[in-house]
């Protein structure tokens, strides 16, 4: 046996020996917080029910786009990413976007599931202005879940994040 084979065998034995010493704990692993993550997925819908307003997707998108536009340069780079969400939270007031014009083109999306394609709800072209209710929804969502003592329950989405959880489905029968 050559010296290199012997050396690799020793290294392999050491890896194998240390493998069984692994205790299986990955601190901060998402699986530990699965329950909180699932609640966060429903949080936007709960806010919509509470304030009784279900914004069109173009309103939520407009708020996020204006947030990104206003906070993009806070890290010193103009790259379309809000890297300094802490500064964005300090310097950007979501309420300032109320009244901004917004719109979206008609869309029809398909969801691919293995060998099948499922048509999702089509959304007609729409336009309007960002409402105070939509701004309140986004602000409340970004503030995150808190318990009755005001303590944050779990991490929430950050400024500039995708908020597709807040998208309602367009109902072609009721046109809303």
Which residues partner with 110 through β-bridges? 119
Kindly report the pTM of this predicted structure: 0.70
pLDDT in tens, 83-135: 898 999 999 999 999 999 998 888 776 665 556 655 666 777 888 999 999 99
Closest CA to 48 of 126, 121, 136: 136
pLDDT in tens, 160-170: 887 877 777 65
Domain ranges of the chain: 3-166
């Amino acid at each position: 046996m050559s010296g290199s084979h012997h050396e690799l065998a020793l290294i392999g034995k050491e890896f194998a020996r240390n493998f069984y010493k692994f205790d299986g704990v990955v601190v901060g692993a998402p699986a530990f917080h699965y329950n909180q993550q699932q609640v966060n997925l429903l949080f936007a819908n709960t806010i919509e029910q509470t304030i009784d307003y279900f914004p069109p997707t173009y309103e939520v998108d407009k708020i996020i786009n204006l947030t990104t536009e206003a906070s993009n340069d806070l890290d010193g780079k103009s790259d379309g990413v809000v890297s300094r969400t802490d500064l964005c939270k300090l310097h950007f007031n979501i309420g300032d976007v109320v009244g901004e014009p917004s719109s979206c083109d008609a869309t029809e999306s398909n969801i691919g599931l293995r060998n099948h394609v499922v048509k999702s709800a089509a959304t007609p072209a729409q336009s309007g202005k960002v409402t105070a209710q939509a701004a309140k929804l986004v602000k409340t969502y970004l503030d995150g879940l808190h318990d009755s003592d005001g303590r944050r329950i779990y991490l929430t989405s950050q400024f500039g994040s995708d908020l597709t959880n807040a998208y309602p489905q367009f109902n072609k029968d009721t046109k809303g």
